[in-house]
Each structure stands twice: as structure tokens, then as C-alpha cells.
Structure 1
Amino acid sequence: MTDPAKKPLARRIETRALLIWLGGAAAIWGFFNVASEVTEGDTAAMDQRLLLMLRRPGTLSDPIGPRWLEESMRDVTALGGFTFLTLATIVAVLLFSFHGKRRQAWILAGAVLAAQVSSEVLKTFYDRPRPSLVPHGSYVYTQSFPSGHSTLSATVFLTLATLIASVEVRASTKILIYVLAVLTTIAVGFSRVYLGVHWPSDVLAGWSLGATWAFGAWVVLEWMRRRDVSRERV
């Protein structure tokens, strides 16, 4: 006879598993849906409209807002750059390793490497030109779709938040970590459009791709946790 006490636990596990698959499917669907719209040219009008909204009418070389805002956007966009995120990843991996959290270290390194490779492959595959509608406010040298800054910032910040939260006991700290990760990711993506180096759809696709890898990192972490619990019970 089935133990009644185990039924609520089984339901929670089933519900959590369902949410995991739904979350992963939503992130993947988001990327390929945007990619399909971009390929068919359906995002062109909206991309141009949103990009022009961030420029002074009649002066496309001048973004809206004061000069300090434009300089701040360059600082923010650097947070999603290859150099900063590489250094941040290396430091985080070393810190996790020094504190005996080798699992978290390997998961972070794997997620970031996968995000970088997939971003470069997809850029080459879709081969979308950078926006030529407005002058660029930052140096660029690769294709436009998906946004590499948006992809890597979402992967690094969201994965890092998940891994730190896994070893943090206070709920308030967990919430703060996730809020900071999400806000930073959004700020980096917005800065790419503000500086005219990406179409909004590039950023949206980058967020979806980065969220997919961050979500995958969380799934791996949860799987390892459950495996350890099962072993302890044996």
C-alpha cells in the first residue's frame, strides 16, 4: 500500500519537473521564434522604429538623453563584453573551487563556454548585418544576430545567480542576487540598442539563448543534487 505521506512529495516533484520542462521549452521557443521572424523580415519595421526612438529626430548620430547617459551606456555595455565576462567567469570559477564547490565551478564554466560557442555559430549561420540605420556608438566586428553581449551576459549573470543562490541560506539574499542579475542583463541588452550596434530583435534572441544555457545549468545542478540525495538514502 502506498504511503499517503509520499503522495504530496511525489506531486511536488512532478510539478517541479513540469515547470522545468516548460521553462526550458519557453526559452528555446523564444529564440527560434525570434530567429524565424528575423529571417522572414517580419521584425524589420519594429526594429527600425525602436532604434529610431532612441535617437534625436533629425540627428541620427546623437542618442537621446544627456552626454553622460551615452557614456554610461558604454560603461554598461562593457559589462557584457568578452573581456569582462571572461575575467568574471575565471574569478568565479576559482572562488567556487577554493571553497570546495567544484560542481558549481564546472557548471559555470560549461555554461559560459557553450553560450560563447553557440553565439558565434549562430552569428555565422544567420549572417545578419549590423544596423546601418544609425552610426554605431561602440566598436563591432562580428555579425548582428544574435547579440553576443546579450547572450553571454544572460548566461553568466543568471547562471552565477543560480549557483550562488544554491549555497546561500537567506531568502532575502537569494532574491537580491536574482534581481541584480536580471537588471544587469536587461541593462546590457538595452545599451546595445541605445548605442545602435544591435537591432532590438538581436538582443531579444540573445536573452533567449542566454536564458536557455542558464536554465540548462540549473537543470544540471538540480539533477546532481537529487543524485546525491538518492545515494545518501541507499
Structure 2
Amino acid sequence: MEVKSTFKAYFQILETPTVQVVLLGGGFLLLMLFETMGVLTPFDTQLHGALSQYPLAEWQQDILRDATAMGSNSVLLFIAFVAALGLKFQGYTKQASTLVFAVIAGLALTFALKYGISRGRPPLAQHQVDVYTQSFPSAHAMMSTIVYFYIARLFAKSTTQISVKIWVYMVAGLLTFFVGISRVFLGVHWPTDVLAGWLGGGAFVAFCFYILKWQRKLRIRHQ
């Protein structure tokens, strides 16, 4: 019983938006710093080279393309639009508008970072899908994290059962994991591009919920 209480306490701490912004945002900033310093290149090159030695079968490529499609801008924008519309009709206007803000601002930030850092993609001959922008961070990884974890967090906040919260986060985690991993195996991203996308997207979601929390406190204070 004591172990369960301790686990619940730690889980609640980790679920705090401020803690998440610091941890995830700090990790993202470190990766970005290391990338600009060229520290990540040897690791990425070695891992990418190791994966390239095992060519994918056609059916494996099809599965990976399906996974990567779940992180495409068109799919994520559609999911975010439906979710925001549903939230609006249910009376959760602030959550809906914050989701819209998260998606638009997330896209703007992602592509600003891509062009600002301007990291090249892995060798073109290994690409299994078309790409048009720079590599760092992975937009698929970052935007899928923002959309899926924003929705997951709303579901998690609607229940007090830790087991339900864990399952909800696991589903969102698996979705974003497969989207990110597919980008590496399809040869269009370095591994740390994807890791940076996960960390940056997670920090951005936490920041959005920090805003909602701050707005709620401000509203209560003025009542």
C-alpha cells in the first residue's frame, strides 16, 4: 500500500506541467546545443549506417509508410480539427482554442527550427518516402507528440484512476513512438532528429497545459 502511495505521488509530480516543461524542454535544448556543436553526428552516422545494412522488404516499407502517415501534417490537422470541434461543442472552449494554438504554433516553431539549424537529411539514396525540408527536429515526431499527447492528457485529466491514465499515455506513447521510429527506418531522419521532436513536442504540450492551469488560477482569483 505504501509503495502504491509513493508511486502515485511520483506520478503526480511528473504530471505537473512545470516539471514537464523543465525536464522535456531542458532535454530538447541540450540536443539542439549538441547538434549545433556537431556532437551528435558520430552517433547518428554510426546508428544510421548500422540500420542501412539491413534493407527493408516491400511489406515492411508499407507498414512503416502507414506508421509515418499517422504523423503527417494532413492527418494530424484533421485529428486536431475534429478534437477541437468536439471540445468546443462539449463546452471546453479554452481547451479547444489551446489545442488549435498548440498545432499552429508547433508547426511554426518546428519549421523555424528546421530552417534555423538547417541540418541535412541522411543520404538521399536511402529515402523510402519524399521529403522537402531540413532534418532537425523531426516534424512528424514533434507534431504527433503535440497532437496525440494533448488529447491523451485531456482524457487523463478526466479520471482519477492512475491505471487509466497510464493506459491513455501508453496509447499516445506507442503512436508517437511508431511514427518517430518509422522516420528513421525509412531513411529520412537521423535518430536524434526524432528524439528532439519527441522532447520538443512533449515540452510544448506541457507548456500549453501550464497556460490552461495559469488561466484557471487567474479566473478563480478574480471570482
Q: Same fold per TM (> 0.5)? A: yes
Report Cα offsets for 1:51-101 as digits up to 9, x if no partner.
1232335xxxx23xx432221111000111000000000000011111111
Distance 1:179 1:70 in 2: 24
Are the counterparts in 2 of residues 85 and 153 from structure 1 also a CA contact under 8 Å? yes
The aligned counterpart of 1:138 is 129
Secondary structure in structure 1 of the residue aligned to 2:126: coil
Q: Which residue of 1 aligns with 2:60?
A: 69
Distance 2:44 2:83 in 1: 35
**Aligned letter for 2:204?**
W
In structure 1, distance between residues paired with 2:78 and 2:17: 30
Task: Give TM-score scaled by structure 1 length.
Answer: 0.82
Which structure would you say has the larger Rg? 1
Normalising by structure 2, we get a TM-score of: 0.86
* Residue 192 to residue 131, structure 1, CA distance change in 2 (3 Å): same
Structure 1 residue 30 corresponds to structure 2 residue 27? yes
- Given the alignment, which residue of 212, 216, 219 partners 1:221? 212
191-200 or 124-133: bigger deviation: 124-133
Task: Describe the SS at the equivalent of 1:211.
Answer: helix
Number of residue pairs aligned between Structure 1 and Structure 2: 213
| RMSD, aligned α-carbons | 2.4
CA contact (8 A) 1:114 1:213 kept: no
Per-residue CA deviation, residues 121-154 of structure 1 (Å, 9 max, x unaligned), is 1111011111117510111001111111111011
**Contact between 1:24 and 1:212, CA under 8 Å: does it hold in 2?**
yes
Bigger RCO (CA 8 Å, 6+ sep): 2
Residue in 2 that maps onto 1:9: none
Identical positions, percent: 35
Q: 1:6 maps to which residue? A: none
Conservation of the 8 A alpha-carbon contact between 2:118 and 2:135? yes
* Structure 1 gaps, min length 5: 1-11
Pick one of 181, 187, 195 that aligns with 1:196: 187
Q: Distance in 2 between matches of 1:184 and 1:53?
A: 25
